[in-house]
């Protein structure tokens, strides 16, 4: 083993040897992805050294396909010195395999080695091509309140959406199965799917189904998008001041309506904690719950966004069966982004930047404080 990288081994060329230059050795290593090209090997030829955090170990060899000097294996006297030292005459191998091909030149002929090299470079190329397509399973998807997974929306056909599942963030396959089992008897308010990349969600129209061949795929039946209210026509509500309190103007409680009502509609709705409203125990967000459970996790902002999507897209159905006339966030069509500005709260109030698509307005952004006790 050597601790020298392939590009920093300035071996002084011995007379009569047509060695590769450092540049060619380096190019061979790079084209091979720093992995041994010997069929079936593919071992990484460089990696970290235990000696020091800045050092690395290299076991890679720029091996000659036809020997560099007379007397070497597979020497071809008719080749020019340039051809012998050219990149086409090299193959990147680990030390074991560079020795193996030299002790067994019959088994490892020139054509065999050229084929190995071509196959290896093609495999490295294919691997890189597959990575060029967008990374998979990076979307956050919620199916009801207790199943959240990293996945991808892979199909939309009429009223059916299909997702491939990377892995579960909340719940697991058995939670998914019990969700399907209990679907018919479930509170309709828990029958939903939310997709972070769409910034939107849908009520379900039937129990989800899943299949697993190469990967887990979930199919859900969705209802049509629930209508939103044009922000200019938001109903009148009591206004809240910067201290989040009601206030009086001209002897009456101040009121707002239309677009002016939007920020405080978001504030009031997103600050309502699920379980806190006694007559509507399933109404409200789980932001406090998630903030406690996922504090410091990169998943927390995604989960907060999911809750915002839920309030924007899923109408609250009261227990008495009265159908909802709007979603809790009324005018919010899509949730583009929700960023918590600082983890330092003003008491129990925390500032968030909301980037939304609002019915009748289009893209809209505002800083809004939420109550997270």
Given a contact cutoff of 8 angstroms between Cβ atoms, the answer to whether 70 and 25 are in contact is no
CB of 44 to Zn ion, least distance (A): 10
Span near Zn ion by CB under 5 A; candidates 24-32, 34-42, 281-289, 361-369: 34-42
Angle at 266 between CA 260 and CA 272, to 5 degrees: 140
Which one of the spans 20-28, 37-45, 159-167, 191-199 is the region binding Zn ion (CB under 5 A)? 37-45
Least distance (Å) between residue 93 CB and Zn ion: 6
**The token pair that represents 360 in the structure block:** 């009748």
Stretch that binds Zn ion, among 35-43, 217-225, 315-323, 350-358 (CB under 5 A): 35-43
Q: In angstroms, how far is CA 89 from the centroid of its own chain? A: 42
Question: What does the alpha-carbon distance between residue 217 and residue 164 come to, in Å, rounded to a whole number?
Answer: 4
Q: Does 41 bind Zn ion (CB under 5 A)?
A: yes
Instruction: Based on the shown chain and the rule CB under 5 A, indicate whether residue 117 belongs to the binding site for Zn ion.
Output: no
Q: Closer to Zn ion by CB, 93 or 269: give it.
A: 93
Nearer to Zn ion, 84 or 120 (CB): 120
Show contacts with Zn ion in window 316-355 (CB under 5 A).
none
Indicate which single residue of 27, 28, 36, 143 sits in contact with Zn ion (rule: CB under 5 A).
Answer: 36
Site string for Zn ion, 68-107 (x = CB under 5 A): --------------------------x--x----------
| Torsional sign, CA 93, 98, 104, 110 | positive
Q: How far is CA 183 from CA 31, 117, 157, 165, 176, in A?
A: 53, 55, 22, 20, 10
Closest listed residue to residue 361, CA positions, set 316, 330, 327:
330
Q: Taking the complex as a whole, how short is the minimal distance between the CB of residue 334 and Zn ion, in angstroms? A: 52
First to last CA, the chain: 59
State the minimum distance, in angstroms, from the CB of residue 59 to Zn ion: 9
Q: Could you tell me which stretch among 36-44, 64-72, 202-210, 297-305 binds Zn ion (CB under 5 A)? A: 36-44
113: left (phi over 0), alpha (psi -120 to 50) or beta: alpha
**Number of residues lying near Zn ion (CB under 5 A):** 5
CB of 43 to Zn ion, least distance (A): 5
We find the least distance from the C-beta atom of residue 28 to Zn ion, in angstroms, to be 14
Among 38, 108, 352, 364, binds Zn ion (CB under 5 A): 38
Q: How far from the centroid of its chain's Cα atoms is residue 44's Cα?
A: 26
Give whole-number Cα distances, 188 to 90, 143, 182, in Å.
66, 13, 11
38 vs 108, beta carbon nearer Zn ion: 38
Stretch that binds Zn ion, among 30-38, 148-156, 227-235, 250-258 (CB under 5 A): 30-38
DSSP result, 315-344: PPPPTT-PPPSS-TTTTEEEEEEEEE--SS
Contact call for residue 267 and Zn ion (CB under 5 A):
no
- Distance between alpha carbon 244 and the CA centroid of its chain, in Å? 36
Write down the least CB distance from residue 207 to Zn ion, Å.
52
Smaller CB separation from Zn ion, 122 or 156: 122
Sheet holding 349-358, edge to edge: 332-340, 349-358, 362-371
Smallest distance, Zn ion to C-beta of residue 38, A: 4
Contact residues for Zn ion (CB under 5 A)? 36, 38, 41, 94, 97
């Amino acid at each position: 083993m050597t601790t020298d990288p392939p590009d920093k081994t300035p071996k002084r060329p011995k007379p009569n040897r047509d060695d590769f230059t450092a540049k060619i050795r380096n190019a061979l290593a790079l084209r091979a992805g720093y992995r041994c090209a010997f069929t079936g090997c593919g071992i990484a030829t460089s990696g970290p050294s235990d000696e020091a955090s800045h050092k690395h170990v290299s076991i890679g060899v720029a091996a000659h396909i036809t020997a560099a000097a007379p007397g070497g294996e597979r020497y071809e006297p008719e080749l020019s010195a340039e051809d012998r030292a050219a990149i086409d005459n090299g193959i990147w191998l680990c030390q074991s395999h560079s020795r193996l091909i030299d002790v067994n030149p019959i088994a490892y002929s020139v054509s065999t080695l050229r084929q190995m090299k071509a196959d290896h470079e093609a495999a490295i190329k294919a691997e890189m091509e597959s990575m060029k397509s967008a990374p998979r399973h990076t979307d956050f998807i919620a199916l009801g309140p207790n199943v959240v997974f990293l996945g991808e929306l892979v199909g939309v056909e009429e009223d059916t959406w299909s997702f491939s599942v990377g892995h579960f963030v909340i719940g697991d396959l058995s939670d998914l199965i019990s969700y399907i089992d209990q679907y018919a008897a479930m509170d309709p308010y828990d029958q939903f799917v939310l997709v972070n990349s769409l910034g939107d969600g849908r009520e379900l129209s039937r129990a989800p189904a899943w299949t697993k061949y190469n990967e887990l795929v979930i199919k859900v039946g969705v209802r049509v998008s629930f209508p939103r209210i044009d922000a200019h026509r938001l109903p009148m509500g009591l206004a809240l001041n910067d201290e989040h309190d009601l206030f009086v103007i001209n002897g009456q409680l101040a009121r707002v309506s239309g677009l002016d009502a939007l920020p405080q509609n978001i504030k009031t709705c997103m600050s309502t904690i699920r379980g806190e409203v006694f007559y509507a125990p399933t109404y409200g967000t789980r932001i406090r719950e998630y903030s406690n459970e996922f504090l410091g996790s990169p998943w927390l902002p995604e989960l907060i966004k999911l809750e915002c999507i839920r309030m924007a897209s899923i109408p609250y159905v009261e227990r008495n069966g009265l159908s909802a006339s709007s979603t809790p966030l009324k005018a919010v069509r899509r949730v583009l982004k929700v960023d918590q500005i600082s983890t330092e709260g003003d008491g129990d109030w925390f500032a968030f930047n909301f980037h939304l698509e609002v019915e009748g307005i289009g893209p809209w952004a505002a800083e809004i404080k939420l109550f997270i006790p």
